[in-house]
Amino acid sequence: PNQRERLLAAFFYADEAGLTDEQAALVCNLLASCYWKRCGELRQDGYIEFNGETRLGGSGLPRNVSVITRQGKHAAMKGDPL
Neighbour count for residue 52 (Cβ, 10 Å): 9
Neighbour count for residue 66 (Cβ, 10 Å): 25
Name the phi and psi angles at 71, rounded to 5: -60, -40
| Predicted pLDDT at 81 | 61
What are the pLDDT digits (tens) for 33-44?
999 999 999 999
* pLDDT of residue 82 exceeding 90: no
Mean pLDDT, the chain, whole residue set:
94
The predicted model gives 17-40 an average pLDDT of 96
Separation between Cα atoms, residue 35 and residue 25, nearest integer Å: 6
pTM (two decimals): 0.92
Separation between Cα atoms, residue 54 and residue 8, nearest integer Å: 19
Integer-rounded Cα Rg, in Å, for the chain is 11
Task: Place 78 in a pLDDT band, splitting at 50, 70 and 90.
Answer: confident
* pLDDT of residue 80 exceeding 70: no
